[in-house]
Structure 1
Amino acid sequence: MSWQVNAMTPLSPDAIEALFTRSDDQYLFARWGRPIVPVVFGVTEETVTVLKGAIEALCVLTGHKMAETDPELGANLMVFFVQDWAELTETPNLDRLIPDLGPLVTRLQQAGANQYRIFRFDEEGAIKACFSFVRVDDHLASVPADTLALNQMTQAILLWSDRAFGDTSPLAVADGVAILRPDIADVMRAAYDPVLPAMARDASHALRLAARVGRVQ
């Protein structure tokens, strides 16, 4: 799979607002409020390295930080790869981390989903943890590991709308290699501007993002 984009075209304020407007038409933005500590389950050590490399690259892009451990959770970005959703119910102690794990697995099976993310937030509304679940179906099995890693980490670095990338990918292709779309990269850099709040529910926040994206151009 490949995507081509016009790298010179910044996103409009309306397009940025849509990235954080959920299916219930409510605007909700959140970024990480603490250093990211990733851990990956269900893949080879080589793929783990690729995934951690992707989140490290995004932290460099946004100016955010990684750490060796989270004082509250140990690891706060947990990525689980499975062949079948039922494997989640067999994972030791996962039901302690994910309330109603059984019903969630049933919903994922019924929907035929191949990925799902759960975010947790601190008192200020910033992201403090993300649980990312990936079922490696025939489609995902055909995606190169570096492409899959960048896509997954991009969707974990911010609380995007649940419909943000339903029709278009956050990735593009340059010289046959998957890269982060430049317009999405600009939004991510702007999102981590320390002047902006870590969480916002007012759509006017998108105008502030757009103003900072303009400075990046």
Structure 2
Amino acid sequence: MTPAEIEVRFTRSDGQFLFARWGRPIVPVVFGVEDETLRIVKGAVEAVVALAGHRMAETDPELGANLMVFFCRDWAELPQVPNLDRMIPDLGPLCARLEAAEANQYRIFRFDERGAIRACFVFLRMDAALAGLPAADLALGQAAQMILLWSDRAFADTPPLARAGDVVVLHPEIGALIRAAYDPVLPAVSQDPVHALRLAARAGQIAGSEPDPGQN
């Protein structure tokens, strides 16, 4: 992946370059699924966190859980979740906009004083497109999208997953980029497009060195 291609992954539609990774251990909690799917989602998060060389924990001292994944059938269900409107201001209008746009997923990030990720809320409306995916594939794709603050168009042309025979895996270039992004030598936050050059150099060294996490 060239520096220009990496720069696009972190350049938003308004032209702003913004890179951020998690600054604290990740503590996931999943709502709206059965125990089997819960294990699959948490397993995918663990795999991507391990790939990044980052950490997970049993609890977050500030929030309890800092990665919250909500599954629903309709956006109108979310405002009915107790206390969710306290964590997500203007939840009602947000759900109305998502419904009007016929969106099936949405992510909200929260940041610490440095700008590193401190929390992420993932909302998935299980329409026909998402419901048709194997749970493992859906979980791995979502885990890849929460591990970094990607741009809103990061995966418009190339999805984060690839198929290797009957197995879906993280795309090798995306896996290498995630590992590079968590190099402790690099800053956790950057608004300088030159950061893409640093990521490209490290990702190029990493690519192909180890298999990426996948799900059967």
Same fold (TM over 0.5): yes
Percent of aligned pairs with the same amino acid: 67
| 1:83-98 aligned within 5 A | 83-98=73-88
Cα distance in 2 between the residues matched to 1:21 and 1:72: 30
| 1:87-166 aligned within 5 A | 87-166=77-156
Partner SS for 2:192 = coil
Partner SS for 2:46 = helix
Q: Does 1:32 align with 2:25?
A: no
Residue 184 of structure 1 is matched in structure 2 by: 174
When the two structures are superposed, what TM-score results if normalisation uses the length of structure 1?
Answer: 0.94
Residue 78 of structure 1 is matched in structure 2 by: 68
Q: Does 1:169 align with 2:159?
A: yes
- Structure 2 unaligned spans of 5+: 208-216
How far apart are 1:177 and its partner, in Å? 1.3
How far apart are 1:168 and its partner, in Å? 2.1
How far apart are 1:216 and its partner, in Å? 1.4
Partner SS for 1:92 = coil
Residue identity matched to 1:157: I
Q: What is the RMSD of the two structures over their aligned residues, measured on CA atoms?
A: 0.6
When the two structures are superposed, what TM-score results if normalisation uses the length of structure 2?
Answer: 0.95
Residue identity matched to 1:175: G
Cα distance in 2 between the residues matched to 1:119 and 1:28: 13
Residue identity matched to 2:143: M
Cα distance in 2 between the residues matched to 1:48 and 1:116: 19
Partner SS for 2:150 = coil
Residue 199 of structure 2 is matched in structure 1 by: 209
Greater length-normalized contact order (CA 8 Å, ≥ 6 residues apart): 1
Report runs of 4+ in structure 1 exceeding 4 Å deviation. none
Partner SS for 2:107 = strand
Partner SS for 1:40 = strand
Residue identity matched to 1:111: A
Cα distance in 2 between the residues matched to 1:135 and 1:214: 36
- Structure 1 unaligned spans of 5+: 1-10
Partner SS for 1:71 = coil
Residue identity matched to 2:113: E
